[in-house]
Structure 1
Amino acid sequence: MKILNNVFECDELEYIKEKIISTFNPVGIGLNGSMARGDFHCQSDVDLEVFTQFPKDILRYEKEVSYEIKGWNKPIIQSPQWMWDLHSRRLTFAVKGERRRFDITITKPQYPVIGSNYDEITKDKLEIHIGGTYEMIHMIYGEHPLAKEIQPKFFPYYNESLRRERLNIISAGLKKEIAKLEQKIQKRDPNIFIAIHKIRKVFFQWLFIHHQIYPWSYEKRLDFQLRERLKISDSEIEIILLLGDRNLFLSAEFLSKYMRSRLS
Protein backbone atom coordinates (compact mmCIF):
# COMPACT_ATOMS: atom_id res chain seq x y z
CA MET A 1 0.00 0.00 0.00
CA LYS A 2 2.94 2.37 0.42
CA ILE A 3 3.39 2.56 -3.36
CA LEU A 4 -0.33 3.04 -3.90
CA ASN A 5 -0.44 5.80 -1.30
CA ASN A 6 2.32 7.62 -3.16
CA VAL A 7 0.28 7.37 -6.33
CA PHE A 8 -2.88 8.59 -4.64
CA GLU A 9 -1.00 11.60 -3.29
CA CYS A 10 0.03 12.54 -6.81
CA ASP A 11 -1.41 15.97 -7.64
CA GLU A 12 -1.89 14.98 -11.27
CA LEU A 13 -4.05 11.99 -10.36
CA GLU A 14 -6.20 14.16 -8.09
CA TYR A 15 -6.56 16.73 -10.86
CA ILE A 16 -7.60 14.10 -13.43
CA LYS A 17 -10.00 12.51 -10.95
CA GLU A 18 -11.76 15.79 -10.20
CA LYS A 19 -12.09 16.59 -13.92
CA ILE A 20 -13.58 13.16 -14.56
CA ILE A 21 -16.08 13.66 -11.73
CA SER A 22 -17.20 17.07 -12.98
CA THR A 23 -17.42 15.95 -16.62
CA PHE A 24 -18.92 12.46 -16.43
CA ASN A 25 -20.68 12.35 -13.04
CA PRO A 26 -19.50 8.77 -12.41
CA VAL A 27 -20.74 6.39 -9.72
CA GLY A 28 -17.18 5.18 -9.27
CA ILE A 29 -13.59 5.53 -10.51
CA GLY A 30 -11.16 2.65 -10.22
CA LEU A 31 -7.41 2.36 -10.54
CA ASN A 32 -6.40 -0.82 -12.37
CA GLY A 33 -3.49 -2.27 -14.33
CA SER A 34 0.05 -2.17 -12.95
CA MET A 35 -0.73 0.65 -10.50
CA ALA A 36 -3.40 -1.40 -8.77
CA ARG A 37 -1.26 -4.55 -8.78
CA GLY A 38 1.71 -2.70 -7.30
CA ASP A 39 4.22 -3.82 -9.94
CA PHE A 40 4.45 -0.56 -11.89
CA HIS A 41 7.66 1.36 -12.54
CA CYS A 42 8.59 4.98 -13.17
CA GLN A 43 7.43 4.82 -16.82
CA SER A 44 4.14 3.00 -16.17
CA ASP A 45 0.83 4.44 -17.33
CA VAL A 46 -2.02 5.12 -14.93
CA ASP A 47 -5.07 3.09 -15.99
CA LEU A 48 -8.41 4.46 -14.84
CA GLU A 49 -11.81 2.80 -15.21
CA VAL A 50 -14.73 5.22 -14.94
CA PHE A 51 -18.17 3.72 -14.26
CA THR A 52 -21.09 5.85 -15.35
CA GLN A 53 -24.57 5.39 -16.80
CA PHE A 54 -24.43 6.51 -20.41
CA PRO A 55 -27.36 8.74 -21.37
CA LYS A 56 -29.48 8.04 -24.46
CA ASP A 57 -27.42 10.51 -26.45
CA ILE A 58 -24.31 8.42 -25.89
CA LEU A 59 -22.33 10.21 -28.61
CA ARG A 60 -22.41 13.32 -26.42
CA TYR A 61 -19.51 11.84 -24.49
CA GLU A 62 -17.26 11.87 -27.53
CA LYS A 63 -17.84 15.61 -27.90
CA GLU A 64 -17.23 16.18 -24.22
CA VAL A 65 -13.90 14.41 -24.46
CA SER A 66 -12.92 16.06 -27.74
CA TYR A 67 -13.78 19.61 -26.72
CA GLU A 68 -14.40 20.00 -23.04
CA ILE A 69 -11.61 17.75 -21.83
CA LYS A 70 -9.18 19.37 -24.25
CA GLY A 71 -9.86 22.44 -22.15
CA TRP A 72 -8.25 20.65 -19.23
CA ASN A 73 -4.79 21.80 -18.32
CA LYS A 74 -3.52 18.50 -19.76
CA PRO A 75 -3.16 17.63 -23.46
CA ILE A 76 -4.99 14.65 -24.93
CA ILE A 77 -2.48 12.35 -26.62
CA GLN A 78 -4.92 9.69 -27.79
CA SER A 79 -8.14 10.89 -29.36
CA PRO A 80 -11.43 9.49 -28.07
CA GLN A 81 -12.37 6.21 -29.67
CA TRP A 82 -15.25 3.84 -29.17
CA MET A 83 -14.47 0.24 -28.32
CA TRP A 84 -17.06 -2.50 -28.36
CA ASP A 85 -16.00 -4.59 -25.41
CA LEU A 86 -17.12 -8.13 -24.66
CA HIS A 87 -19.86 -6.73 -22.44
CA SER A 88 -20.44 -3.06 -23.23
CA ARG A 89 -19.58 -0.08 -25.36
CA ARG A 90 -16.63 1.88 -24.01
CA LEU A 91 -15.01 5.22 -24.72
CA THR A 92 -11.24 5.33 -24.31
CA PHE A 93 -8.74 8.18 -24.49
CA ALA A 94 -5.39 9.12 -23.00
CA VAL A 95 -4.12 12.26 -21.30
CA LYS A 96 -0.44 13.16 -20.94
CA GLY A 97 0.59 14.51 -17.57
CA GLU A 98 3.93 15.96 -16.59
CA ARG A 99 5.18 12.64 -15.27
CA ARG A 100 2.75 9.98 -16.47
CA ARG A 101 0.27 9.04 -19.17
CA PHE A 102 -3.30 8.49 -18.02
CA ASP A 103 -5.29 5.87 -19.97
CA ILE A 104 -8.96 6.45 -19.23
CA THR A 105 -11.87 4.16 -20.05
CA ILE A 106 -15.45 5.37 -19.65
CA THR A 107 -17.78 2.39 -19.29
CA LYS A 108 -21.36 1.60 -18.40
CA PRO A 109 -21.70 -0.87 -15.50
CA GLN A 110 -22.92 -4.14 -16.95
CA TYR A 111 -22.52 -7.84 -16.39
CA PRO A 112 -19.85 -9.55 -18.49
CA VAL A 113 -21.12 -12.03 -21.07
CA ILE A 114 -20.08 -15.67 -20.88
CA GLY A 115 -19.14 -17.13 -24.26
CA SER A 116 -21.08 -20.26 -25.22
CA ASN A 117 -18.71 -21.81 -27.75
CA TYR A 118 -15.02 -22.15 -28.47
CA ASP A 119 -14.74 -19.16 -30.81
CA GLU A 120 -16.41 -16.80 -28.36
CA ILE A 121 -14.29 -18.08 -25.50
CA THR A 122 -11.03 -17.31 -27.32
CA LYS A 123 -12.14 -13.83 -28.32
CA ASP A 124 -13.79 -12.46 -25.21
CA LYS A 125 -10.83 -12.90 -22.81
CA LEU A 126 -13.30 -12.99 -19.95
CA GLU A 127 -10.64 -14.00 -17.44
CA ILE A 128 -8.58 -10.87 -18.02
CA HIS A 129 -11.66 -8.68 -18.02
CA ILE A 130 -13.05 -9.96 -14.73
CA GLY A 131 -9.62 -10.02 -13.13
CA GLY A 132 -8.79 -6.47 -14.20
CA THR A 133 -12.19 -4.87 -13.76
CA TYR A 134 -13.65 -6.66 -10.77
CA GLU A 135 -10.86 -8.24 -8.73
CA MET A 136 -7.65 -6.24 -9.13
CA ILE A 137 -9.29 -2.82 -9.42
CA HIS A 138 -8.73 -0.36 -6.55
CA MET A 139 -11.52 2.18 -6.17
CA ILE A 140 -10.34 5.76 -5.65
CA TYR A 141 -13.78 7.36 -5.88
CA GLY A 142 -17.25 6.05 -5.08
CA GLU A 143 -18.05 2.36 -5.07
CA HIS A 144 -17.81 -0.36 -7.65
CA PRO A 145 -21.38 -0.47 -9.02
CA LEU A 146 -21.49 -4.24 -9.50
CA ALA A 147 -19.16 -5.49 -6.77
CA LYS A 148 -21.88 -6.96 -4.55
CA GLU A 149 -23.59 -8.70 -7.47
CA ILE A 150 -20.43 -9.92 -9.23
CA GLN A 151 -18.73 -11.27 -6.09
CA PRO A 152 -21.01 -14.25 -5.35
CA LYS A 153 -21.44 -15.14 -9.03
CA PHE A 154 -17.82 -15.26 -10.17
CA PHE A 155 -15.46 -15.46 -7.19
CA PRO A 156 -13.19 -17.04 -6.20
CA TYR A 157 -12.13 -17.05 -9.86
CA TYR A 158 -15.40 -18.70 -10.93
CA ASN A 159 -17.91 -20.85 -9.14
CA GLU A 160 -16.96 -24.46 -9.75
CA SER A 161 -19.72 -25.33 -12.23
CA LEU A 162 -18.85 -22.30 -14.38
CA ARG A 163 -15.14 -23.13 -14.18
CA ARG A 164 -15.75 -26.72 -15.33
CA GLU A 165 -17.92 -25.48 -18.18
CA ARG A 166 -15.21 -23.11 -19.37
CA LEU A 167 -12.51 -25.78 -19.12
CA ASN A 168 -14.62 -28.28 -21.08
CA ILE A 169 -15.33 -25.81 -23.88
CA ILE A 170 -11.70 -24.74 -24.20
CA SER A 171 -10.40 -28.33 -23.94
CA ALA A 172 -12.61 -29.48 -26.81
CA GLY A 173 -11.40 -26.64 -29.02
CA LEU A 174 -7.77 -27.13 -28.04
CA LYS A 175 -7.78 -30.82 -28.95
CA LYS A 176 -8.96 -29.94 -32.47
CA GLU A 177 -6.26 -27.27 -32.80
CA ILE A 178 -3.59 -29.67 -31.52
CA ALA A 179 -4.57 -32.16 -34.23
CA LYS A 180 -4.20 -29.41 -36.86
CA LEU A 181 -0.81 -28.44 -35.40
CA GLU A 182 0.40 -32.04 -35.61
CA GLN A 183 -0.57 -32.14 -39.29
CA LYS A 184 1.50 -29.01 -39.90
CA ILE A 185 4.44 -30.65 -38.12
CA GLN A 186 4.22 -33.71 -40.36
CA LYS A 187 3.99 -31.56 -43.50
CA ARG A 188 6.77 -29.24 -42.32
CA ASP A 189 4.44 -26.33 -42.96
CA PRO A 190 6.51 -23.09 -43.12
CA ASN A 191 3.65 -21.18 -41.46
CA ILE A 192 3.71 -23.36 -38.39
CA PHE A 193 4.73 -20.57 -36.01
CA ILE A 194 1.43 -18.78 -36.63
CA ALA A 195 -0.42 -21.92 -35.56
CA ILE A 196 1.81 -22.27 -32.49
CA HIS A 197 1.17 -18.69 -31.42
CA LYS A 198 -2.60 -19.10 -31.80
CA ILE A 199 -2.87 -22.40 -29.96
CA ARG A 200 -0.55 -21.37 -27.16
CA LYS A 201 -2.67 -18.35 -26.24
CA VAL A 202 -5.69 -20.63 -25.86
CA PHE A 203 -3.61 -23.07 -23.83
CA PHE A 204 -2.59 -20.21 -21.50
CA GLN A 205 -6.27 -19.53 -21.03
CA TRP A 206 -6.85 -23.14 -20.06
CA LEU A 207 -3.88 -23.11 -17.66
CA PHE A 208 -5.05 -20.03 -15.77
CA ILE A 209 -8.62 -21.31 -15.41
CA HIS A 210 -7.30 -24.72 -14.35
CA HIS A 211 -5.12 -23.12 -11.67
CA GLN A 212 -7.88 -20.67 -10.67
CA ILE A 213 -5.63 -17.64 -11.10
CA TYR A 214 -6.45 -14.49 -13.05
CA PRO A 215 -3.91 -13.73 -15.79
CA TRP A 216 -2.38 -10.29 -16.27
CA SER A 217 -2.02 -10.96 -19.97
CA TYR A 218 -1.66 -13.84 -22.41
CA GLU A 219 1.26 -12.14 -24.16
CA LYS A 220 3.28 -10.17 -21.59
CA ARG A 221 5.65 -11.34 -18.85
CA LEU A 222 4.86 -14.96 -19.65
CA ASP A 223 8.00 -16.39 -18.08
CA PHE A 224 7.23 -14.65 -14.77
CA GLN A 225 3.55 -15.59 -14.83
CA LEU A 226 4.25 -19.25 -15.59
CA ARG A 227 7.00 -19.56 -13.02
CA GLU A 228 5.84 -17.35 -10.15
CA ARG A 229 2.06 -17.34 -10.46
CA LEU A 230 1.25 -20.75 -11.96
CA LYS A 231 4.28 -22.51 -10.40
CA ILE A 232 5.13 -24.27 -13.68
CA SER A 233 8.50 -26.05 -13.63
CA ASP A 234 11.46 -24.73 -15.61
CA SER A 235 11.44 -27.80 -17.88
CA GLU A 236 7.76 -27.21 -18.70
CA ILE A 237 8.34 -23.50 -19.29
CA GLU A 238 11.09 -24.39 -21.76
CA ILE A 239 8.60 -26.47 -23.74
CA ILE A 240 5.76 -23.93 -23.57
CA LEU A 241 7.91 -20.93 -24.57
CA LEU A 242 9.88 -22.86 -27.23
CA LEU A 243 13.19 -22.37 -25.48
CA GLY A 244 16.30 -24.48 -25.93
CA ASP A 245 18.22 -25.35 -29.07
CA ARG A 246 15.65 -27.60 -30.77
CA ASN A 247 14.44 -26.70 -34.26
CA LEU A 248 10.96 -25.21 -34.55
CA PHE A 249 9.20 -28.40 -35.70
CA LEU A 250 10.72 -30.45 -32.89
CA SER A 251 9.74 -27.72 -30.39
CA ALA A 252 6.19 -27.76 -31.79
CA GLU A 253 6.09 -31.54 -31.36
CA PHE A 254 7.18 -31.24 -27.73
CA LEU A 255 4.53 -28.56 -27.18
CA SER A 256 1.71 -30.60 -28.71
CA LYS A 257 2.59 -33.64 -26.60
CA TYR A 258 2.79 -31.51 -23.47
CA MET A 259 -0.61 -29.91 -24.12
CA ARG A 260 -2.21 -33.31 -24.75
CA SER A 261 -0.78 -34.61 -21.48
CA ARG A 262 -2.17 -31.66 -19.54
CA LEU A 263 -5.61 -31.94 -21.12
CA SER A 264 -5.92 -35.69 -20.54
Structure 2
Amino acid sequence: MTTTIKEALQERLEEVERRVVAACELSGRSREEVNIIAVTKYVSLETAQAAHQLGLRHLGENRWQDAKEKWEAISGSEIDEDGGQAVWHFIGSLQTNKVKDVIGKFTYIHSLDRLSLAQAIDKRASQLGITVPCFVQVNVSGEQSKHGLDPEQLPAFLTELKELSSLRIIGLMTMAPYETEAEETRPIFRSLRKLRDEMNERAILPESMTELSMGMSGDFEVAIEEGATWIRLGTILVGKEG
Protein backbone atom coordinates (compact mmCIF):
# COMPACT_ATOMS: atom_id res chain seq x y z
CA MET A 1 0.00 0.00 0.00
CA THR A 2 1.59 3.29 -1.01
CA THR A 3 1.51 6.13 1.47
CA THR A 4 0.49 8.54 -1.29
CA ILE A 5 -2.89 6.92 -1.88
CA LYS A 6 -3.73 6.82 1.80
CA GLU A 7 -2.61 10.39 2.39
CA ALA A 8 -4.69 11.70 -0.50
CA LEU A 9 -7.70 9.72 0.68
CA GLN A 10 -7.28 10.95 4.23
CA GLU A 11 -7.22 14.58 3.08
CA ARG A 12 -10.36 14.14 0.98
CA LEU A 13 -12.11 12.26 3.77
CA GLU A 14 -11.38 15.05 6.26
CA GLU A 15 -12.71 17.69 3.86
CA VAL A 16 -15.85 15.68 3.08
CA GLU A 17 -16.44 15.11 6.77
CA ARG A 18 -16.11 18.84 7.46
CA ARG A 19 -18.73 19.58 4.78
CA VAL A 20 -21.10 16.85 6.00
CA VAL A 21 -20.93 18.20 9.55
CA ALA A 22 -21.58 21.75 8.31
CA ALA A 23 -24.60 20.63 6.26
CA CYS A 24 -26.00 18.77 9.26
CA GLU A 25 -25.54 21.80 11.49
CA LEU A 26 -27.17 24.09 8.94
CA SER A 27 -30.25 21.88 8.74
CA GLY A 28 -30.45 21.05 12.44
CA ARG A 29 -29.66 17.39 11.96
CA SER A 30 -27.42 15.03 13.90
CA ARG A 31 -24.26 13.91 12.14
CA GLU A 32 -25.16 10.33 13.05
CA GLU A 33 -28.20 10.49 10.76
CA VAL A 34 -26.05 10.62 7.62
CA ASN A 35 -24.12 7.62 6.28
CA ILE A 36 -21.40 7.89 3.64
CA ILE A 37 -21.08 5.29 0.89
CA ALA A 38 -17.66 5.36 -0.80
CA VAL A 39 -18.39 4.66 -4.45
CA THR A 40 -15.37 2.69 -5.62
CA LYS A 41 -16.48 1.80 -9.15
CA TYR A 42 -13.90 4.05 -10.85
CA VAL A 43 -10.90 3.24 -8.66
CA SER A 44 -8.44 0.38 -8.27
CA LEU A 45 -8.51 -2.42 -5.75
CA GLU A 46 -5.64 -0.73 -3.92
CA THR A 47 -7.60 2.50 -3.55
CA ALA A 48 -10.74 0.68 -2.44
CA GLN A 49 -8.71 -1.18 0.19
CA ALA A 50 -7.18 2.06 1.42
CA ALA A 51 -10.61 3.69 1.69
CA HIS A 52 -11.93 0.81 3.75
CA GLN A 53 -8.89 0.71 5.98
CA LEU A 54 -9.34 4.42 6.71
CA GLY A 55 -12.78 3.72 8.11
CA LEU A 56 -15.07 3.99 5.09
CA ARG A 57 -16.99 0.83 5.91
CA HIS A 58 -19.76 1.28 3.34
CA LEU A 59 -18.61 0.63 -0.23
CA GLY A 60 -20.73 1.09 -3.34
CA GLU A 61 -20.44 -0.52 -6.76
CA ASN A 62 -22.55 -0.41 -9.94
CA ARG A 63 -21.69 -3.67 -11.69
CA TRP A 64 -20.80 -7.11 -10.36
CA GLN A 65 -18.22 -7.61 -13.11
CA ASP A 66 -16.31 -4.56 -11.88
CA ALA A 67 -16.89 -5.22 -8.19
CA LYS A 68 -15.93 -8.91 -8.12
CA GLU A 69 -12.20 -8.50 -7.56
CA LYS A 70 -12.70 -5.87 -4.86
CA TRP A 71 -15.41 -7.83 -3.09
CA GLU A 72 -13.31 -10.99 -3.03
CA ALA A 73 -10.23 -9.16 -1.75
CA ILE A 74 -11.87 -6.97 0.87
CA SER A 75 -14.75 -9.06 2.21
CA GLY A 76 -13.83 -11.51 4.92
CA SER A 77 -10.18 -10.51 5.29
CA GLU A 78 -9.87 -6.74 5.33
CA ILE A 79 -10.95 -4.78 8.40
CA ASP A 80 -11.19 -1.03 8.81
CA GLU A 81 -9.59 1.11 11.48
CA ASP A 82 -12.41 0.29 13.90
CA GLY A 83 -12.12 -3.44 13.30
CA GLY A 84 -15.16 -3.70 11.07
CA GLN A 85 -15.71 -5.48 7.80
CA ALA A 86 -16.97 -3.86 4.62
CA VAL A 87 -20.68 -3.44 3.97
CA TRP A 88 -21.45 -3.50 0.26
CA HIS A 89 -24.12 -1.45 -1.50
CA PHE A 90 -25.28 -2.20 -5.03
CA ILE A 91 -26.13 1.22 -6.43
CA GLY A 92 -26.36 0.61 -10.19
CA SER A 93 -29.11 -0.81 -12.33
CA LEU A 94 -29.32 -4.52 -11.50
CA GLN A 95 -30.04 -6.99 -14.28
CA THR A 96 -32.26 -9.88 -13.24
CA ASN A 97 -29.71 -12.42 -14.46
CA LYS A 98 -27.07 -10.92 -12.14
CA VAL A 99 -29.18 -11.28 -9.00
CA LYS A 100 -27.61 -14.65 -8.19
CA ASP A 101 -24.16 -13.00 -8.13
CA VAL A 102 -25.15 -9.97 -6.07
CA ILE A 103 -27.63 -11.15 -3.44
CA GLY A 104 -25.79 -12.59 -0.47
CA LYS A 105 -22.73 -10.45 -1.16
CA PHE A 106 -24.19 -6.95 -1.26
CA THR A 107 -26.12 -6.08 1.90
CA TYR A 108 -28.11 -3.20 0.40
CA ILE A 109 -29.76 -2.80 -3.01
CA HIS A 110 -30.36 0.84 -3.96
CA SER A 111 -31.91 0.37 -7.39
CA LEU A 112 -35.10 -1.65 -7.07
CA ASP A 113 -37.32 -0.36 -9.88
CA ARG A 114 -39.44 -3.19 -11.31
CA LEU A 115 -41.45 -6.16 -10.14
CA SER A 116 -39.45 -8.80 -12.07
CA LEU A 117 -36.28 -7.67 -10.27
CA ALA A 118 -38.03 -7.64 -6.89
CA GLN A 119 -39.28 -11.18 -7.46
CA ALA A 120 -35.81 -12.40 -8.48
CA ILE A 121 -34.23 -10.81 -5.39
CA ASP A 122 -36.93 -12.27 -3.16
CA LYS A 123 -36.45 -15.75 -4.62
CA ARG A 124 -32.67 -15.68 -4.20
CA ALA A 125 -32.86 -14.20 -0.70
CA SER A 126 -35.36 -16.87 0.30
CA GLN A 127 -33.00 -19.58 -0.94
CA LEU A 128 -30.21 -18.08 1.18
CA GLY A 129 -32.43 -17.56 4.20
CA ILE A 130 -31.82 -13.82 4.37
CA THR A 131 -33.82 -10.60 4.15
CA VAL A 132 -32.49 -7.92 1.80
CA PRO A 133 -32.83 -4.22 2.67
CA CYS A 134 -33.83 -2.38 -0.51
CA PHE A 135 -34.36 1.17 -1.69
CA VAL A 136 -36.95 1.76 -4.40
CA GLN A 137 -35.45 3.95 -7.12
CA VAL A 138 -37.67 6.81 -8.19
CA ASN A 139 -37.03 8.97 -11.25
CA VAL A 140 -38.13 12.23 -9.66
CA SER A 141 -36.54 14.42 -12.36
CA GLY A 142 -38.29 12.61 -15.21
CA GLU A 143 -35.09 12.41 -17.25
CA GLN A 144 -35.28 9.67 -19.86
CA SER A 145 -31.64 8.74 -19.19
CA LYS A 146 -32.41 7.90 -15.56
CA HIS A 147 -33.69 4.59 -14.25
CA GLY A 148 -36.47 4.38 -11.71
CA LEU A 149 -40.22 4.50 -11.29
CA ASP A 150 -42.29 7.54 -12.07
CA PRO A 151 -43.49 8.98 -8.75
CA GLU A 152 -47.13 8.21 -9.56
CA GLN A 153 -46.23 4.52 -10.01
CA LEU A 154 -44.83 4.19 -6.51
CA PRO A 155 -47.99 3.39 -4.48
CA ALA A 156 -49.00 0.48 -6.71
CA PHE A 157 -45.43 -0.83 -6.79
CA LEU A 158 -45.10 -0.75 -3.00
CA THR A 159 -48.40 -2.58 -2.73
CA GLU A 160 -47.02 -5.36 -4.94
CA LEU A 161 -43.85 -5.60 -2.86
CA LYS A 162 -45.80 -6.37 0.31
CA GLU A 163 -46.17 -9.95 -0.91
CA LEU A 164 -42.39 -10.51 -1.06
CA SER A 165 -41.35 -11.52 2.44
CA SER A 166 -37.59 -11.66 1.84
CA LEU A 167 -37.44 -7.98 0.88
CA ARG A 168 -37.38 -5.15 3.40
CA ILE A 169 -38.15 -1.82 1.79
CA ILE A 170 -36.27 0.68 3.92
CA GLY A 171 -36.47 3.81 1.79
CA LEU A 172 -36.31 5.57 -1.56
CA MET A 173 -33.41 6.45 -3.84
CA THR A 174 -33.02 9.00 -6.62
CA MET A 175 -30.39 10.59 -8.81
CA ALA A 176 -30.67 14.31 -9.45
CA PRO A 177 -29.74 15.83 -12.82
CA TYR A 178 -26.25 17.26 -13.09
CA GLU A 179 -26.43 20.98 -12.32
CA THR A 180 -23.70 23.60 -12.36
CA GLU A 181 -25.21 25.01 -9.17
CA ALA A 182 -25.95 22.36 -6.54
CA GLU A 183 -28.83 24.45 -5.22
CA GLU A 184 -30.76 23.64 -8.39
CA THR A 185 -31.08 20.03 -7.23
CA ARG A 186 -32.97 20.94 -4.06
CA PRO A 187 -36.49 20.45 -5.51
CA ILE A 188 -35.57 16.89 -6.56
CA PHE A 189 -34.36 15.90 -3.11
CA ARG A 190 -37.23 17.66 -1.37
CA SER A 191 -39.71 15.85 -3.61
CA LEU A 192 -38.23 12.45 -2.74
CA ARG A 193 -38.47 13.20 0.97
CA LYS A 194 -42.08 14.30 0.62
CA LEU A 195 -42.84 11.21 -1.43
CA ARG A 196 -41.41 8.94 1.26
CA ASP A 197 -43.38 10.76 3.95
CA GLU A 198 -46.58 10.52 1.90
CA MET A 199 -46.13 6.77 1.41
CA ASN A 200 -45.55 6.37 5.15
CA GLU A 201 -48.69 8.35 5.94
CA ARG A 202 -50.67 6.07 3.65
CA ALA A 203 -49.18 3.04 5.50
CA ILE A 204 -48.83 1.01 2.31
CA LEU A 205 -46.01 -1.05 3.77
CA PRO A 206 -46.12 -2.86 7.13
CA GLU A 207 -43.12 -0.81 8.29
CA SER A 208 -42.44 2.87 7.66
CA MET A 209 -39.58 3.74 5.33
CA THR A 210 -36.89 5.67 7.21
CA GLU A 211 -34.12 6.03 4.64
CA LEU A 212 -33.33 8.34 1.70
CA SER A 213 -30.44 7.47 -0.61
CA MET A 214 -29.70 10.70 -2.44
CA GLY A 215 -26.82 13.08 -3.04
CA MET A 216 -23.55 12.56 -4.87
CA SER A 217 -20.23 14.37 -5.15
CA GLY A 218 -21.68 17.55 -6.65
CA ASP A 219 -24.79 17.96 -4.55
CA PHE A 220 -24.50 15.99 -1.30
CA GLU A 221 -24.75 19.01 0.99
CA VAL A 222 -28.12 20.02 -0.46
CA ALA A 223 -29.27 16.40 -0.20
CA ILE A 224 -28.31 16.32 3.49
CA GLU A 225 -30.20 19.54 4.09
CA GLU A 226 -33.27 17.90 2.52
CA GLY A 227 -33.08 14.73 4.60
CA ALA A 228 -30.63 12.29 2.97
CA THR A 229 -29.62 9.43 5.24
CA TRP A 230 -27.23 7.83 2.72
CA ILE A 231 -25.01 9.86 0.38
CA ARG A 232 -23.08 8.18 -2.45
CA LEU A 233 -19.66 9.78 -2.93
CA GLY A 234 -17.20 8.79 -5.64
CA THR A 235 -14.87 11.35 -7.22
CA ILE A 236 -14.90 13.85 -4.37
CA LEU A 237 -13.97 11.15 -1.85
CA VAL A 238 -12.06 8.26 -3.42
CA GLY A 239 -11.13 9.98 -6.69
CA LYS A 240 -11.30 8.63 -10.21
CA GLU A 241 -8.63 6.60 -11.97
CA GLY A 242 -8.10 5.43 -15.50
TM-score (norm 1): 0.29
Structure with greater Cα Rg: 1
The structure with more helix, counted as a fraction of residues: 1
Question: With CA pairs under 8 Å and 6+ residues apart, which has the higher RCO, 1 or 2?
Answer: 2
